Chains A and B, each alone.
Chain A
Amino acid sequence: MDQLLLIINEMREEDGNAPLEMLEDSMDLRDDLVLDSLMLAELTVRIESEFNVDIFEDGIVQTVGEIIAKIEGK
Chain B
Amino acid sequence: MDKIFLVYNDTVYTYGQLLMDLNSKEAGYSYLYVKDNHPYEVFLGIIHSLLYNYPLEILDGDFSEQEISELGVDTNLLTTKVPKHERLHFQNMDEVIRRIYKKDQWMLTLYTSGTTGRPKKMGHTFDTLTRNVKVHAKFEHCIWAFAYNPTHMAGIQVFFQAFLNQNPLVYMFGKSMSNIKILMETYQITHISATATFYRNILPYLQGTTYPTMERVTFGGEKFDLLLEEKIKHAFPNSKITNVYASTEAGSLFAAKSDVFEIRPEYKQFVKITEQRELCIHRSLLGQSHSLENEWFHTGDSVETIDETHFKFQSRQSDMINVGGYKVNPIEVENLLMQVPGIIDVVVKSKKNSVTGEMLVADVIKCEELDEKELKKELKQFATTHLQAWKVPRIIKFVDELLITRTGKKVRK
Give the B-binding residues of A (Cβ under 8 A). 13-16, 36-42, 44-46, 48, 54-57
Q: Is B411 an interface residue (CB 8 A)?
A: no
Nearest A-chain residue to B357, judged by Cβ: A41
One of A36, A46, A54 near B354 (C-beta < 8 A)? A54
- Measured as residues with beta carbon below 8 angstroms from the partner, the interface class of chain B is 20 to 34
CB pair A41 B355 closer than 8 Å: yes
One of B353, B355, B359, B376 near A14 (C-beta < 8 A)? B376
Across the A-B interface, the 10 shortest Cβ-Cβ residue pairs: A42-B394, A56-B354, A41-B355, A41-B356, A41-B359, A41-B353, A40-B355, A45-B353, A44-B353, A14-B376
Q: Which residues of A are found within 8 Å of B356, using beta-carbon distances?
A: 37-38, 41
CB pair A38 B373 closer than 8 Å: no
What total count of A-B pairs have CB within 8 Å? Answer: 53
The contact sample of 10 A-B pairs, CB cut-off 8 A, is A13-B373, A14-B380, A14-B396, A16-B377, A38-B324, A38-B359, A41-B394, A45-B395, A56-B355, A57-B354
Q: What is the CB-to-nearest-CB distance from A59 to chain B, in angstroms, rounded to a whole number?
A: 9
Residue of A16, A45, A48, A57 with most chain B CB atoms under a 10 A cut-off: A45
Residue of B323, B356, B384, B392 with most chain A CB atoms under a 10 A cut-off: B356
CB pair A42 B359 closer than 8 Å: yes
Q: Is B254 an interface residue (CB 8 A)?
A: no
Q: What is the CB-to-nearest-CB distance from A10 to chain B, in angstroms, rounded to a whole number?
A: 9
Q: A14-B376, A15-B380, A45-B359 are in contact. Are A38 and B389 (CB under 8 A)?
A: yes
Q: Which residues of B are found within 8 Å of A36, using beta-carbon distances?
A: 389
Q: Which residues of B are found within 8 Å of A39, using beta-carbon distances?
A: 394
Q: Which residues of B are found within 8 Å of A41, using beta-carbon distances?
A: 323-324, 353, 355-356, 359, 394
Q: What is the CB-to-nearest-CB distance from B197 to chain A, in angstroms, rounded to a whole number?
A: 26
Bound-state CA distance A13–B395 (Å) is: 12
Q: Which residues of B are found within 8 Å of A13, using beta-carbon distances?
A: 373, 377
Q: Is B381 an interface residue (CB 8 A)?
A: yes
Q: What is the CB-to-nearest-CB distance from B325 to chain A, in angstroms, rounded to a whole number?
A: 10
Q: Which chain B residues in 183-223 approach chain A with CB under 8 Å?
A: none
Q: What is the CB-to-nearest-CB distance from B236 to chain A, in angstroms, rounded to a whole number?
A: 37
CB pair A45 B351 closer than 8 Å: yes
7 new A-B contacts at CB < 8 Å, known A41-B394, A44-B354, A44-B355: A16-B380, A37-B324, A41-B323, A41-B356, A42-B394, A42-B395, A45-B394
Q: Which residues of A are found within 8 Å of B353, using beta-carbon distances?
A: 41, 44-45, 48, 54, 56
Q: Is B8 an interface residue (CB 8 A)?
A: no
Residue of B355, B356, B361 with most chain A CB atoms under a 10 A cut-off: B355
Bound-state CA distance A34–B79 (Å) is: 65
CB pair B380 A37 closer than 8 Å: no
Bound-state CA distance A13–B375 (Å) is: 12
Q: Which residues of B are found within 8 Å of A44, using beta-carbon distances?
A: 353-355
Q: Which chain B residues in 345-360 approach chain A with CB under 8 Å?
A: 351, 353-356, 359
Nearest B-chain residue to A56, judged by Cβ: B354
Q: What is the CB-to-nearest-CB distance from B55 to chain A, in angstroms, rounded to a whole number?
A: 49
Q: What is the CB-to-nearest-CB distance from B312 to chain A, in angstroms, rounded to a whole number?
A: 29
Bound-state CA distance A68–B381 (Å) is: 30
Q: Which residues of A are found within 8 Å of B389, using beta-carbon distances?
A: 36, 38
Q: Is B296 an interface residue (CB 8 A)?
A: no
Q: Which residues of A are found within 8 Å of B351, using beta-carbon distances?
A: 45
Nearest B-chain residue to A54, judged by Cβ: B354
Bound-state CA distance A54–B396 (Å) is: 20
Q: Is B390 an interface residue (CB 8 A)?
A: yes
Nearest A-chain residue to B359, judged by Cβ: A41
Bound-state CA distance A56–B354 (Å) is: 6
Bound-state CA distance A39–B361 (Å) is: 13
Nearest A-chain residue to B373, judged by Cβ: A13
Q: What is the CB-to-nearest-CB distance from B392 to chain A, in angstroms, rounded to a whole number?
A: 8
Q: What is the CB-to-nearest-CB distance from A3 to chain B, in angstroms, rounded to a whole number?
A: 17
CB pair A38 B354 closer than 8 Å: no
CB pair A16 B354 closer than 8 Å: no
One of B373, B390, B392, B395 near A46 (C-beta < 8 A)? B395
Q: Which chain B residues in 265-316 approach chain A with CB under 8 Å?
A: none
Q: Which residues of B are found within 8 Å of A48, using beta-carbon distances?
A: 353
Bound-state CA distance A23–B98 (Å) is: 79
Q: What is the CB-to-nearest-CB distance from B367 to chain A, in angstroms, rounded to a whole number?
A: 19
Bound-state CA distance A15–B353 (Å) is: 20
Q: What is the CB-to-nearest-CB distance from B53 to chain A, in angstroms, rounded to a whole number?
A: 57
